[in-house]
Structure 1
């Protein structure tokens, strides 16, 4: 096949398409930069406005824990007393959280608490325990507590399918 364009015209056409590709690439890069700027600007706004709203709260002083169970209970009670004024509704959930934390056997650590209020109120506790027997003992002590209507633990946790992590779902009138 023979190219019917002369060399000078061929260079001009190639230069045109190369310039077009550079312009398209720079427009794509500019659009990505604008999206990144918007994401960073919103993150910057959130970071700078949150500390200003938290300035009025007192600093919580906790006793140093040496790992003994009694100290953990005292520490949990101090935390409950400190967070009690922060409850935002007429019916406080602190009583139920306190009952759930005080029912823990030795060695069971609760690391996350999630509360859902409403007609089907739930309290989900997540944490770690040395063995599945400790998790089962925690489940039994919670089911005997009159604060909670039902206590459920996934069967895989009690069967030993997972490591030392657990979740307990409690229902009641929170």
Structure 2
């Protein structure tokens, strides 16, 4: 799994995601940044994770088919290879007032991104693969976020443990 130099620790005062969700990232090093921390995102190219919490079930369209997403925590793995790098891409995802361009926009325009995790020079596919290998995530919707990927079934994952006491 891709690593960053800093260790992933949970401090309820500074970390925007629940401790139990942080524990699901064994082997992944870095720092979660909340909505107000996007200025600290690196501007280099690489990959990132977005953490979203759906508090109600929603129906979203993918390739003209409606798909149901149950309440819970979701992670979206994306890449930022263009100008502005990870910082520019994550800042865009944090905005709710944007045109729908990518699959993830269908969620981020309705549910705010809780936090983002930057992986400079990282690969979204490596993130997805590593998270699936833990057995703590599942593909949320086949094809979601991966229409241009030949390696992954999807880039949107759902955390299997959704209850803090069971994780």
Bigger CA radius of gyration: 1
Question: 1 or 2, which has the higher helix percentage?
Answer: 1
Indicate the structure with greater strand content.
2
TM-score exceeds 0.5 = no
What is the TM-score normalised by the length of structure 2? Answer: 0.36
